[in-house]
Amino acid sequence: MLAPKGPAWQHAQDAARFTELVESASPGDWARPSPVAEWTALDIVRHLVEWSRGFLTGAGIELPALDVSADPAGAWKRHASDIQAILDAPDGRVLCNPHTGDLPVDEAIDRFYTADVWMHSWDLAKALGREPELGEERCDAALAGMVPMEQMLRDSGQFGTAVPVDGDASAQDRLMAFIGRDPSWTP
């Protein structure tokens, strides 16, 4: 049984939402543009699969490469299952990374990877012409945690220039605008 709100539970929730999006895509959808400049829907899936598998080598975890281009849905589902297995049995492993320091592997996955899946589900939904719903409370909390680190986040190159939004914009729109996405973007 997954601990409610723990890293394994959170990944199961976020990966399931992303899986629903991936499974809803038709073969022609993978070439659709996304809100991430110069990325397609396929690039979003490729990014999530490839960077995290490399990231996990810092915990001594070697996962086989997956051919995302050949089978985006199959590669994603295999990848999500691989990550879930690590979270279900972290076995005291520690991920060592010069940028993040030493963290228990489940905490590192939760903080860096699962959060990325959650936010990129917005990008994939938009690329597929669907309206994403990330949850206002979680968006508000994420934004509150990011604002104090804005300069560091911008300097990392991981986020674009903030997009202006109205003061009464939803927490989701404010979060997406903060990380450089236009909340009103359409394919």
Query: How many domains are there within the chain?
Result: 2
**pLDDT grade, residue 7 (50/70/90)?**
very high
Q: State mean pLDDT over 171-181.
A: 94
102-143 pLDDT, tens digit per residue, is 999 999 999 999 999 999 999 999 999 999 999 999 999 999
Claim to verify: residue 98 and residue 162 sit in the same structural domain: no
Q: State mean pLDDT over 89-110.
A: 90
Q: What is the CATH number of the domain that holds 128?
A: 1.20.120.450
Final residue belonging to a domain, choices 115, 133, 151: 133
**Between these two residues, 103 and 100, which has the higher pLDDT value?**
103
Predicted pLDDT of residue 3 = 52
Claim to verify: residue 129 and residue 166 sit in the same structural domain: no
Burial of 61 (0-12, 13-18, 19+ CB in 10 A): middle
Claim to verify: residue 67 and residue 145 sit in the same structural domain: no
Claim to verify: residue 49 and residue 80 sit in the same structural domain: yes
Q: State mean pLDDT over 4-25.
A: 94
**Domain that residue 126 falls in:** 7-133
pLDDT higher than threshold 90 for residue 35: yes
Lowest mean pLDDT, pick from 1-10, 39-48, 56-65, 67-76 = 1-10
pTM for the structure as a whole: 0.92
Mean pLDDT taken over the chain = 92
Q: How far is CA 106 from CA 84, 89, 123, in A?
A: 10, 9, 24
Neighbouring C-beta atoms of residue 94, cutoff 10 Å? 15
Residue whose C-alpha is closest to residue 44's, from 26, 55, 28, 32: 32
Contact yes or no for 61/92 (Cβ under 8 A): no
Residue 186 lies in a domain: no
β-bridge pairing 94-97 and 101-104: antiparallel
Claim to verify: residue 127 and residue 151 sit in the same structural domain: no
Claim to verify: residue 115 and residue 167 sit in the same structural domain: no
Claim to verify: residue 94 and residue 173 sit in the same structural domain: no
